[in-house]
């Protein structure tokens, strides 16, 4: 049985007015036809490759019920595919979380697990807990991959650490995406890691030395490499809009990936939260590490975000003026970076992950595999 949606359909190459036909959980046809001037936008379900939690729930503790709830929260905001991003933690905690999340990956609740650490540079660890940082060990990684049985999808590491290049080669051979981030590497070290198989830049500009014309560091190397997909946290706090504009111009729609880097506080009130064993304070929607005990100086270290992908989509559209670009950055490009070839675009044969947006680009409905998971507010009234 087929069903259809009428609107302004944002395909990978253009906007097509007409009807999107879904059958068997897939997109069966896109039929051009006139639509009303106020017809909704139909965009691909968002793909978030870097998210730690949301809706008051976190991925970082390795609890399956919390992971389901966090995924459901982001699904309501149009994210039909996401990775459960863990922060730096001891091996036993990583092992337990990987075991707990493997069934969720197998059932499709999660698209995989992302280790953002612990193989990071202490000097650029940001809100990661420095007590848990360590160089990559091949035996540790091999054990985690074995337990995950395909659940581990991406690993962020600092390429200048001892053993990092061997770790990159091991992970790539196992089909795991390697991302470069939280690093104090120089330009050449990053390019060497890319040559070894790294293909993603973790929240580019953040967690690395700022670009300098006499000391080109990770940002230049990542932005300048045609093989690298660059993550951007488009929340107005991590990056100025002008920086986004510059970066989007450099990498283009095919290499820009919007991510939320969201923590449990996404969708929640300002207040106190936790990330990887460290206290976080959210004020005016911006998450930062709490001040150290006894200090009267507020911390300036950003600790993830309260962003959702629909808000990131709207900011990307505001910066570029192109809804096609925004759809690429929020869905098509991250899906391709993760090797998820069955989703990420509105095209015949793709999984029917469709987000319906109103004139203001607010989410009105979400369909995942053709099944409605969020209905328009009018339908709920």
Q: Is cis: bond before 48, omega within 30 of 0? A: no
Going from the C-alpha of 18 to that of each of 7, 41, 335, 361, the distances in angstroms are 6, 11, 25, 18
Residues 159 and 186: their CA atoms lie apart, in Å, by: 9
Q: Where are the alpha helices (DSSP H) in the chain?
A: 64-76, 91-107, 138-148, 164-173, 187-196, 218-224, 241-251, 309-320, 323-327, 333-337, 377-380
Identify whether the C-beta of residue 47 lies closer than 8 Å to the C-beta of residue 344. yes
For the record, the structure tokens of 327 come out as 């759809």
For the record, the structure tokens of 21 come out as 């036909």
| Residue 17 annotated in active site | no
Strand intervals (E) in the chain:
2-10, 15-23, 26-32, 41-44, 46-48, 53-54, 57-58, 79-86, 112-116, 152-157, 177-180, 200-201, 229-233, 256-259, 271-275, 278-283, 286-289, 354-357, 363-368, 371-374
CA angle 210, 263, 292 (to 5 degrees): 70
Tokens 């009807």, residue?
19
Name the catalytic one among 184, 261, 310, 353.
261
Around Cβ 242, how many Cβ atoms within 10 Å? 9
Q: For the purposes of burial, counting CB atoms within 10 Å of the CB of 114, is it exposed (0-12), middle (13-18) or buried (19 or more)? A: buried
Catalytic residues: 261
């Amino acid at each position: 049985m087929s069903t259809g949606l009428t609107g302004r359909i944002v395909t990978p190459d253009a906007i097509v007015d007409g009807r999107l036909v879904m059958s068997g959980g897939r997109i069966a046809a896109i039929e051009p036809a006139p639509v009303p001037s106020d017809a909704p936008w139909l965009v691909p379900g968002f793909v978030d490759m870097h998210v730690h939690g949301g809706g008051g729930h976190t991925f970082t503790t390795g609890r399956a019920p919390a992971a389901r709830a966090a995924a459901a929260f982001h699904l309501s905001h149009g994210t039909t595919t996401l990775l459960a991003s863990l922060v730096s933690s001891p091996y036993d905690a990583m092992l337990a979380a990987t075991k707990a999340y493997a069934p969720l990956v197998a059932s499709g609740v999660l698209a995989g697990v992302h280790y953002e650490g612990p193989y990071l540079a202490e000097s650029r660890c940001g809100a990661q807990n420095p007590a848990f940082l360590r160089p990559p060990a091949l035996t540790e990684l091999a054990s985690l991959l074995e337990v995950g049985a395909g659940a581990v999808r991406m690993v962020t590491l600092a390429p200048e650490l001892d053993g990092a290049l061997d770790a990159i080669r091991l992970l790539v051979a196992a089909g795991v995406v390697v991302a470069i981030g939280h690093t104090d590497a120089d330009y050449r070290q990053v390019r060497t890691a890319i040559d070894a198989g790294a293909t993603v830049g973790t929240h580019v500009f953040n967690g690395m030395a700022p670009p300098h014309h006499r000391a080109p560091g990770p940002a230049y190397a990542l932005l300048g490499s045609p093989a690298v997909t660059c993550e951007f946290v488009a929340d107005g706090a991590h990056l100025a809009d002008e920086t986004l504009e510059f970066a989007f111009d450099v990498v283009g729609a095919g290499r820009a990936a919007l991510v939320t880097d969201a923590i449990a506080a996404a969708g929640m009130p300002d207040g106190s939260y936790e990330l990887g064993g460290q206290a976080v304070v959210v004020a005016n929607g911006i998450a930062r590490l709490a001040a150290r005990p006894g200090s009267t100086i507020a911390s300036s270290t950003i600790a993830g975000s309260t962003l959702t992908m629909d808000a990131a989509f709207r900011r990307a559209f505001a910066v570029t003026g192109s809804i096609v670009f925004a759809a690429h950055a929020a869905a098509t490009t991250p899906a391709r970076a993760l090797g998820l070839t069955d989703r990420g675009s509105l095209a015949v044969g793709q999984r029917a992950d469709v987000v319906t947006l109103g004139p203001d680009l607010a989410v009105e409905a979400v369909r995942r595999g053709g099944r409605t998971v969020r209905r328009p507010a009018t339908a709920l009234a």
